[in-house]
Amino acid sequence: MDINAVVCSQYFAALTMLKQAVECCPDSLWDAESDENKFWRVAYHALFYTHLYLQKSLDDFHAWEKHWDKAQRVDKDAPSGKPFTKTEILEYVDTCRKKVEERTAALDPEAPSGFHWLAFNKLELQFYNIRHLAQHTGELMERLGSRAGVNVDWVFKGV
């Protein structure tokens, strides 16, 4: 069994579902005033940490070229800032997909996570990262379903 291929496949499946959620999001929900955590910010947060935890360590991380400070935060105290567009978020999905391909090909499952606040190995870090991505994607899917009647397809395996 090629564990790296399995990890890559599950990242791709989760990223595909997030991409669908972004593409299906009506403009009225993208930056809705009534939302404490804006749709765009939750999507960006999920991608920022996906990107971060794919790196060897914090020192190896280089933020996405369009990143602005604190855009990754999802909480009521995060500065409002200019929202990312759907096109920009979809570009970041593609960037993360490329990073998944690069990093999982060289994954040493037994190496330390590379992040001192996450005391486990690289394999567990990948599961942790995929769960984080999926949790926020599910949050956005729920928002789409309950407020816009939009459903996102389940993707069981990435290609």
* Residue 1, pLDDT score: 74
Residue 130 tokens read as: 């995929």
* Residue 130, pLDDT score: 98
pTM for this prediction: 0.91
* Residue 156, pLDDT score: 84
* Residue 158, pLDDT score: 77
pLDDT under 70: residue ranges of the chain: 69-81, 159
* Residue 17, pLDDT score: 97
The 8 Å CB, 24+ separation contacts for 100-107 are: 100/8, 100/11, 100/12, 100/15, 100/50, 100/54, 101/8, 103/54, 103/55, 104/4, 104/5, 104/7, 104/8, 104/11, 105/4, 105/8, 107/3, 107/4, 107/7
